[in-house]
């Protein structure tokens, strides 16, 4: 098939050797690339119960056939491993330009195995692979590290780094690229840290062969005008995800103080209007037609972002309503290589524990000074930070407060209140990597479009299933979340690029196959339907403010939604995949 | 009566780049009347009045602050 390089770079960090091997094209047809193909490789190669932080765990950088072509919004890289935060499958997505550079260096995927004995980084220039010591970089922030490597190897290199959080193996450590882009969730940066790998530098001089170049240029030109750069997608350019702040507040789903309530009429200081006032520039990833990135600067606080999740979770969910404080928090976390979502989630839990007198972590809601000290303390395990570095699930087991530890399977909540969007609650509970808004996004129908009643369990299993199928195949294409393309368009683009015929029905079948595959991985690691649940706050406590005031998700309604979801997936009533289904999937 | 209407994100272009306008409506008008007057369909957009999400049948009153949000994905 065209679009692929038919080449995987497999690197043994322990032996410091590298070899090239053909891509498994049988799997490529079934899983395309990105998320799906990466999980298929890991499922095959990882021994069950492998410690995520051991040299035996693998770190897979996976591109897709559309990567590096003229197809818009196709510049993201999938990174796959077993999560140190949850023990589940973990696939993250990172923007910037690194995916395209890997493809231009000649690879569909890079699979990292083993671990370096001393800190180092990888330099990949087409066929040339070098293992370079990085003792001097160990302990430094991501931004300083990337600047050093760009100066050393040239500004046409693309780079992934980890910060101190990754070096210290934190379950909320991320991988950075282009300074401000992150593979954020599930501790993917800790896997890189466990391999003593500070950075990956890539320089590629090749290109990507497309099956029908004339048609690709013609159709992409039409699609860009008719389907991409349109009012339905341009919110990403005009406002970016900050546009969600005011919408979520009005919809009753902007959390307040560790999800104790919804935020109402308090977003003026950090909403999209305020972000636009403080905006200094715009940026997009390679191949992007929408350019969602916003550089925000207020005095000495500067960052690309903050995105909605950070605005919500590090904002009102920590009792903070000031954009400068949130920008500073974001900047610190990025440099330390730490996921803002989980870091803020842990801090807001610690604030509630402190205020309730259950355990004094020395931090309270709205204490901006204390909150801005926390990223450094957590990432470098200083004082109380050493405990907070454990993550909300482990902390709540140790000190109590489990009913308001806002996490699923060990991954802290995104910034959407499930009691104001019941399908979102189901989406968090059944997402393959723990509480995640990127596996299905039913809040769009329930809250933004208003086409579905948010406060009922009726029809929600199908809504979540449809969203999961759509995102699973989209993130295997790989197309950015922010282009709301139809699966018929994705199938057409894959056909033009690869030369193989794909239909919309193929896309749906591939999406569903990937959900089964991720579930099979988690099942093999011991996860069952009992893990598909939510913190008890969501079942027991009603919201007091906003349009969703009085709402909770009754546990029996949640149970019914879950059962219906298992039924749609063809899983058994306890949430397990039958041996027959596993055989059908050739797993 | 007059209501203040703010268009969010790319919808601002519909007001010639101005984010906020005062719109005059007959007494007793509802959100759906406003949408019709400024050329929006009833379905597909989130509407907030005074910071709270409403549906098209919601009655409006003088001085209300209305925001119309574009459809969005992700976060």
Chain B residues touching A449 at Cβ < 8 A:
43-46, 71
The answer to whether the Cβ–Cβ distance between A451 and B43 falls below 8 Å is yes
Chain B residues touching A249 at Cβ < 8 A:
51
Q: Average pLDDT for residues A484-494, to the nearest whole number?
A: 97
Q: Average pLDDT for residues A441-466, to the nearest whole number?
A: 96
* A568: pLDDT strictly greater than 60: yes
pLDDT of residue B75: 57
Question: Could you give the CA distance from residue A282 to residue A280 in angstroms, rounded to a whole number?
Answer: 7
Asked whether A561 and A461 are in contact (CB, 8 A), the reply is yes
* A423: pLDDT strictly greater than 60: yes
Q: Which residue of A has its CA nearest to B13?
A: A231
The percentage of residues in chain A with a pLDDT greater than 70, rounded to a whole number, is 100
Instruction: Give the closest of B48, B55, B71 to A250, CB-based.
Output: B48
Q: Tens of pLDDT along A390-415? A: 999 999 999 999 999 999 999 999 99
Asked whether A244 and B18 are in contact (CB, 8 A), the reply is no
Q: Tens of pLDDT along A32-48? A: 999 999 999 999 999 99
Note which residues in 11-70 of chain B have CB less than 8 A from chain A: 11-13, 19, 43-48, 51-53, 55, 67, 69-70
The answer to whether the Cβ–Cβ distance between B44 and A449 falls below 8 Å is yes
pLDDT level of residue B74 (50, 70, 90 thresholds): low
Q: Average pLDDT for residues A141-169, to the nearest whole number?
A: 98
Question: Could you give the CA distance from residue B13 to residue A542 in angstroms, rounded to a whole number?
Answer: 39
Q: Tens of pLDDT along A524-547? A: 999 999 999 999 999 999 999 999
Q: Average pLDDT for residues A127-141, to the nearest whole number?
A: 98
pLDDT of residue A411: 98
pTM of the predicted model as reported, rounded to 2 decimal places: 0.98
The answer to whether the Cβ–Cβ distance between B73 and A441 falls below 8 Å is yes
Find which of A184, A230, A243 to mutate to test the B interface (most B CBs within 10 Å of its CB): A243
Domains and CATH numbers, chain B: 2-69 (3.10.20.30)
pLDDT of residue A581: 86
Question: Could you give the CA distance from residue A432 to residue A86 in angstroms, rounded to a whole number?
Answer: 10
Please tell me if residue B74 touches chain A, with a CB cutoff of 8 Å: yes
For tokens 């200083």, name the residue.
A382
Is the reported ipTM for this assembly greater than 0.90?
Answer: yes
* Strand-pair partners of A183: A175
Q: Tens of pLDDT along A271-298? A: 999 999 999 999 999 999 999 999 999 9
pLDDT of residue A584: 85
Asked whether A58 and A47 are in contact (CB, 8 A), the reply is no
User: In Å, how far is B9's CA from the nearest CA of chain A?
Assistant: 5
Average pLDDT across chain A, whole number? 97
Q: Tens of pLDDT along A209-264? A: 999 999 999 999 999 999 999 988 999 999 999 999 999 999 999 999 999 999 99
Question: Could you give the CA distance from residue B62 to residue A338 in angstroms, rounded to a whole number?
Answer: 48
pLDDT of residue A587: 79
The answer to whether the Cβ–Cβ distance between B67 and A307 falls below 8 Å is no
Sign of the C-alpha dihedral computed for residues A490, A496, A497 and A498 taken in this order = positive
């Amino acid at each position: 098939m065209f679009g692929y390089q038919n080449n995987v770079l497999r690197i043994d960090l322990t032996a410091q050797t590298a070899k090239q091997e053909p891509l498994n094209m049988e799997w490529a047809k079934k899983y395309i690339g990105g998320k799906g193909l990466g999980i298929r490789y890991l499922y095959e190669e990882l021994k069950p119960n492998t410690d995520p932080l051991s040299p035996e765990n693998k770190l897979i950088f996976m591109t897709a056939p559309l990567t590096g072509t003229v197809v818009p919004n196709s510049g993201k890289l999938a990174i796959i491993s077993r999560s140190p935060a949850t023990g589940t499958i973990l696939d993250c997505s990172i923007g910037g330009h690194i995916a395209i550079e890997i493809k231009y260096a000649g690879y569909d995927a890079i699979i990292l195995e083993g671990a370096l004995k001393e800190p180092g980084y990888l330099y990949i220039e087409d066929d040339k692979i070098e293992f370079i010591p990085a003792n001097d970089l160990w302990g430094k922030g991501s931004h300083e590290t990337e600047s050093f490597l760009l100066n050393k190897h040239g500004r046409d290199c693309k780079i992934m780094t980890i910060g101190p959080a990754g070096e210290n193996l934190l379950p909320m450590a991320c991988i950075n690229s282009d300074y401000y882009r992150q593979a954020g969730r599930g501790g993917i940066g800790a896997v890189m840290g466990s391999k003593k790998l500070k950075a990956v530098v890539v320089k590629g001089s090749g290109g990507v062969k497309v099956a029908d170049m004339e048609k690709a240029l013609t159709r992409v030109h039409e699609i860009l005008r008719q389907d991409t750069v349109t009012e339905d997608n341009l919110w990403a350019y005009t406002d970016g995800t900050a546009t969600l702040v005011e919408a979520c507040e009005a919809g009753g789903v902007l959390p307040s103080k560790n999800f104790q309530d919804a935020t109402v009429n308090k977003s003026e200081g950090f909403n999209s209007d305020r972000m636009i006032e403080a905006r200094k520039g715009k940026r997009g990833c390679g191949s992007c037609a929408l350019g969602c990135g916003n550089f925000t600067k207020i005095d000495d606080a500067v960052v690309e972002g903050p995105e909605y999740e950070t605005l919500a979770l590090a904002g009102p969910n920590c009792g903070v309503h000031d954009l400068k404080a949130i920008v500073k928090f974001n900047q610190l976390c990025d440099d330390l290589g730490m996921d803002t979502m989980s870091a803020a989630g842990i801090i807001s839990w610690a604030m509630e524990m402190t205020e309730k007198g259950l355990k004094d972590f020395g931090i309270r809601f709205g204490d901006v000074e204390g909150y801005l000290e926390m990223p450094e303390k957590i990432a470098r395990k200083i004082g109380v930070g050493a405990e907070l570095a454990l993550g909300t699930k482990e902390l709540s087991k140790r000190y109590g407060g489990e009913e308001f530890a806002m996490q699923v399977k060990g991954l802290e909540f995104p910034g959407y209140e499930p009691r104001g969007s019941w399908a979102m609650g189901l989406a968090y509970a059944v997402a393959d990597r723990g509480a995640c808004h990127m596996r299905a996004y039913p809040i769009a129908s329930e809250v933004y479009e208003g086409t579905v009643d948010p406060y009922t369990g009726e029809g929600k299993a199908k809504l979540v299933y449809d969203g999961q199928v759509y995102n699973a195949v989209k993130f295997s294409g790989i197309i950015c979340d922010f282009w709301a393309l139809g699966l018929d368009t994705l199938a057409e683009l894959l056909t033009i690029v690869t030369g193989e015929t794909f239909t919309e029905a193929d896309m749906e079948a591939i999406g569903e196959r990937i959900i089964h595959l991720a579930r099979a991985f988690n099942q093999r690691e011991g996860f069952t339907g009992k893990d598909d649940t939510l913190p008890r706050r969501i079942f027991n406590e009603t919201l007091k403010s906003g349009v969703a005031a009085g709402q909770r998700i009754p546990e029996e309604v949640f149970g019914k939604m879950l059962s219906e979801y298992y039924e749609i997936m063809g899983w058994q009533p306890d949430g397990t995949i039958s041996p027959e289904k596993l055989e059908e999937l050739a797993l | 009566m007059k209501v203040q209407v703010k268009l969010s994100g790319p919808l601002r272009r519909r007001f010639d780049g101005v984010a906020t306008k005062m719109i005059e409506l007959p007494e007793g008008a509802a959100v759906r009347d406003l949408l019709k007057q400024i050329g929006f369909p009833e379905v597909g957009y989130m509407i907030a009045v005074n910071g709270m999400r409403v549906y098209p049948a919601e009655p409006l009153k003088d001085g209300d602050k209305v925001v119309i949000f574009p459809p969005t994905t992700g976060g």
